[in-house]
Chain A
Amino acid sequence: MPSYKLTYFNVRGRAELIRLLFATGGIPYEDVRIGRDKWPELKPKTPMGQIPILEVDGQVYCQSMAIARFVAREAGLLGESSSDQARADMLLDGGAEVGELLKEVVLEKDASKRAEKKKEFSEKSLPHFLTLYEGFANDSGHFVGESLTWADISFFNMMDFLTAEFPSALEGYDKLNKIIENVKSNPGIAKWLKERPVTDH
C-alpha cells in the first residue's frame, strides 16, 4: 500500500476536497497542517511554490484538482467510462468557476463594492449556476450515473463554503439537496465531518 502525505495550511480551502475523497475511500493518509510561519521554508521545496502538495512514496504532486482526481481514481470515485469521467470533469470545472466568483465576493475589502458583488452573485451568477446544476443532477441525487462520484462530493464541498455566505442558497433545488444528502450520509464522509478540525474556511 503506498504512503500518502498531504500538506496544507490548517484550513479546509484547497485541500478539503482531497481530504473528503480520502475519507470516502477509507484510504489512510497523513493530514499535515503547517503554520504560516513554516511556509517560507517549505515553499522552494514544492514543484510550483504552492500547496496543497501530495507526496506519494517520495514523488511530490501539486495542483489541488490534479491531486483530487488522483485520489478519486484510487478511491474508485472518478466515473466508470471515459465519457462518465469527462462529465465529472466538466461539472467540477464549472463548479470551480463559480467558486472563483464566490472568492471575489468574499475577499473584497471595500464594504460597498463587496455588497455590490454579493448582490450580483446572489441575483445572477448563483441562480444561473444552481439552475444548470439542478438540470445536471438525476432523480436519485447523483451527477454521474447512479452512484456517488467525486462530482457529487466536490459539489457538496463547494456548497459547504457557499452556504456560509448564502445560507438559503439551495432552497427549492430538490435534486441538488438529494446530492448533498447522499454525500453526507456516506459513512466515510459522515465520520470525517464529525472528526475534522473546525476552521473558518
Chain B
Amino acid sequence: GVHCGACRKMSVYELHYFNNRGRAEPARLLFAAAGLPYRDIRIQSEQWPEYKLKLPMHQVPVLEVDGTMICQSVAIARYVAKVTGHAGKTDLEQAKVDMLVDGIDDVMTKKGDYVWHEKDETRKMEKKTAFYETTLPQFLSHFEKLLRTNNGGDGFLVGEGLTHADAWFLCLADDILLDFPDIFSPYPKLAALVERIRTYPGIKEWLAKRPQTPF
C-alpha cells in the first residue's frame, strides 16, 4: 500500500550492524540527511553467533521497519532513500543513481577483497598497489566525467539533490582518503562533491557526533 508522509514518520526504524561504518553507513547518512530518527544498533562480537540466526540471510546490515527485516546494504540504502525522497525523481534518474551505486559497490568489494579476504601478505600488497594504481584511478576518472555530465558537476551526482549515490560516494571517499589523503587531487569536481556532502544539513551534525571507528 501507499504510506502518507505522516505515517512514514511514525514508522519505527532499527538498523542492525556492528560498531563500525562499513556497509551500514550509507543508510545512516540518509537517515541523518532527512532528520529521520532510527535506532542505531551496534552488535558486539560476542553476541554475533546467536544474533545472526534471527536475520534473513544471517548477515548485517539489516533494517527492521515496523518488524519487517530487510537485508543487503544496497537494498537498505535504496529503501531509506525512497522513504526520505533521496532516490532520484524520474525512472531514468533512479536508473542513473542505481548504476552509480553499483559502480561504487564494485570498487568497495574490490577493496574489501585485499583488506579482508587476501591472507597472503605479499599478494595483499600486490592487490593493494593494483587497486590504488589502476582500479581506483580508472573508477575516479569515470566518475569525474559522469559528475560533470550532471549540469557541469557543481551539484550532486544525479539530478538536483542528494541521492543515495552521494551517500555511498562519501563512504568510499572516507575509506580511501585514510590511505591516500591526496587521492582526489586529479579530480577537482569529485573533491568538491565530497565537501558538499560532508556539509549537507543533517549529515554535517552526524559526522561530528558519530562513533569514530577505523572503518
Chain A interface (Cβ within 8 Å of chain B)? 47-49, 56, 59, 61-67, 69-70, 73-74, 81-83, 85-87, 89-90, 92-94, 132, 136
B 14-59 contacts with A by CB, 8 A: 56-58
Size range of the interface on B? 20 to 34
- Taken together as a complex, chains A and B put the C-alpha atoms of A74 and B90 apart, in Å, by 12
In the assembled complex, the Cα of A69 lies from the Cα of B95 at a distance in Å of 7
The one of A47, A59, A64, A132 in contact with B142, judged by C-beta atoms closer than 8 angstroms, is: A47
Distance between B179 CB and nearest chain A CB, rounded to angstroms: 22
Q: Is the CB of B76 within 8 A of A67?
A: no
Chain B binding site: helix, strand, loop or mixed by DSSP?
helix
Please report the C-alpha to C-alpha distance between residue A102 and residue B122 in the assembled complex, in whole angstroms: 26
Contact (Cβ within 8 A) B79 A73: no
Smallest beta-carbon distance B64→chain A, Å:
12
A48 and B96 CA atoms in complex are apart in Å by 12
A193: min CB distance to chain B, Å? 26
The reply to whether A86 and B99 contact each other, CB–CB distance below 8 Å, is no
Whether A89 contacts B99 by the Cβ 8 Å rule is no
- A62 touching B99, Cβ below 8 Å: yes
Smallest Cβ-Cβ distance to B83: which chain A residue: A82
A56 surroundings in chain B (CB, below 8 A)? 92
- 9 CB < 8 A contacts A-B: A49-B138, A63-B98, A63-B99, A67-B95, A83-B68, A86-B70, A86-B76, A90-B71, A132-B58
A65 with B98, Cβ < 8 A, contacts A82-B79, A132-B56 known: yes
Q: Assuming the A-B contacts A63-B103, A65-B102, are A86 and B56 also in contact, with contact meaning beta carbons closer than 8 angstroms in the complex?
A: no
Over the window 70-103 of chain B, the binary record of Cβ atoms lying under 8 Å from chain A Cβ atoms (1 yes, 0 no) is: 1110111011001100000001101110110111
Q: Which residues of B are at the interface with A, using a C-beta cutoff of 8 A?
A: 1-3, 56-58, 65, 68, 70-72, 74-76, 78-79, 82-83, 91-92, 94-96, 98-99, 101-103, 138-139, 142, 146
User: Is A48 in contact with B95, judged by CB distance below 8 angstroms?
Assistant: no
With known contacts A63-B98, A63-B103, A67-B99, A82–B146 Cβ distance under 8 A? no
The interface residues of chain A lying within 8 Å CB-to-CB of B68 are 83
Contact present for B70 and A90 (CB under 8 Å):
yes
Asked whether A93 lies within 8 Å of B79 as measured between CB atoms, the reply is no
7 shortest interchain CB distances as A-B pairs: A89-B75, A66-B98, A93-B72, A63-B102, A66-B99, A70-B95, A86-B79
Residues in chain B near residue A69, CB distance under 8 A: 94-95, 98
> Nearest-CB distance from B76 to chain A (Å)?
7
B136 to chain A, nearest CB (A): 13
Q: 20 extra interchain contacts, Cβ-Cβ under 8 A, other than A61-B96, A62-B99?
A: A48-B99, A59-B92, A61-B95, A63-B99, A64-B102, A65-B98, A65-B102, A70-B94, A70-B98, A74-B91, A81-B1, A82-B79, A83-B65, A83-B68, A86-B75, A89-B75, A90-B56, A90-B70, A92-B75, A132-B58
CA distance A114 to B209 in the complex (A): 48
A70 contacts across to B, CB distance below 8 A: 91-92, 94-95, 98
What chain B residues lie within 8 Å of A136 (beta carbons)? 56
Q: Smallest CB–CB gap between A80 and chain B, Å?
A: 8
* The one of B75, B83, B146 that contacts A93, using a Cβ cutoff of 8 Å: B75
